[in-house]
Amino acid sequence: MSDEPRSGVVDEEEDGATVAAVVRGLFEGMPWSRARELVRTGRVKVEGEICFEPADRVAAGELIEVNPTGRRRKVLPMAREDLIHVDHEVVVVRKPANLLTVPWDGDDERDTLIERTRAALREYGFGLGSKSDKQKPGRSGKSDHLGVVQRLDKDTTGLLVFARNRKARKALAAQFRAHSIHRRYVALVEGEAEAGIHDSHIVPDRGDGIRGSWRGGSPPAVAKHAVTKVRVEERLADATLVSCQLETGRQHQIRIHLSEAGHPLVGEQVYDRDYRGARIPASRPMLHAASLGFRHPAGDRPMRFEDPMPDDFRALLESLRRGPR
């Protein structure tokens, strides 16, 4: 199998295929794992733009370019304004849509929020012990150490905190376990939602292959208690703007609770099987982490951060306010 650069135009038979499948088709005998690796490491372009997601779909007529021996993509730092707060103990960042918080595993080399944050800390002089940081480096000696204490879904935007050392990570993790972290989300949901408290036990498979609330008797050991407080902020044409405060932080908790109440997120494509109403088109699930509060790991002082809706969320909201034309 040659490692020479190759390119090709997606034909009609390949329309709708994944990027990895088209890359594999350009190289006789290429394993799936190699095709996916080439995409994830930034050595594949679709219509001149680097593509990092092997499962992305291509359309007939698009140009695919592959350079197997090209340099692995260098992680680009996030914009300076997306570093909301930086100190010796914690980093609070603004997450964009279409970006994983962390890799799935050690072999996952896709673009992620944690790598962009590390790159930004180096790029903008926020390494521990740098001139921009008045405090001394941690014992680990790593200027870009980041501890994960929370995650946001790939398409969820908004505020997230990373710890910068083990002590800070332990302190923040304890606050998350005690449910003392303040987290408020804003969401656009289908239909006329109502305020209320959603309290359930979430299981990995509710019986139809997707995550959801346990509906039987005593919940199994794998079930996780989940509580979401929902408040109606504004009623719109065929939709409702709500705010959600998390008492717990289970995977997909807000999406599950809202969908099971009959009002999936606008743009929801997973937890919407039972919804039969009209759909509002959206490029992603409309969920934004708007407010984050915790006690600082050093000194125990309260910290609170707010983040406005991103452009796509605000544009859709304004469109719904104007109503049909």
pLDDT at residue 144, as a whole number: 59
By the 8 A CB rule, do 83 and 60 touch? no
Name the pairing type of β-strands 196-203 and 157-163: unpaired
What is the spatial distance between Cα 189 and Cα 68, in angstroms, rounded to a whole number?
43
Higher pLDDT, 276 or 64: 64
Question: How confident is the model at residue 237, as a pLDDT?
Answer: 87
**Residue 128: predicted pLDDT:** 56
pLDDT in tens, 23-79: 999 999 999 999 999 988 878 988 887 777 788 899 999 999 999 988 676 677 899
Domains and CATH numbers, the chain: 6-66 (3.10.290.10), 75-178 (3.30.2350.10), 179-297+306-325 (3.30.2350.10)
Q: What is the pLDDT of residue 138?
A: 35
* Global confidence as pTM: 0.75
Average pLDDT of the chain is 89
Sheet containing 44-46, strands listed edge to edge, beginning at the edge strand earlier in sequence:
6-9, 63-66, 44-46, 49-50
pLDDT of residue 110: 63
**pLDDT tens readout for residues 141-184:** 345 578 999 999 999 999 999 999 989 999 999 999 999 999 99
324: pLDDT strictly greater than 50: yes
pLDDT tens for 128-140 read 544 344 333 333 3
Q: Which residue has the tokens 């480096």?
A: 137
- Helical ranges in the chain per DSSP H: 19-26, 32-40, 113-123, 166-177, 253-260, 311-322
Tell me whether strands 157-163 and 287-295 are parallel, antiparallel or unpaired: parallel
When mean pLDDT is compared across 124-138, 162-176, 275-289, 308-322, the lowest value belongs to 124-138
Q: Give the model's pLDDT for residue 134.
A: 39
Mean pLDDT value of segment 230-245: 97
Q: What does the buried/exposed string (b/e) look like for 51-70 if buried means 16 or more CB atoms within 10 Å of the residue's CB?
A: bbbbeeebeeebebbbbbeb
pLDDT, residue 1, reads 65
pLDDT higher than threshold 50 for residue 10: yes
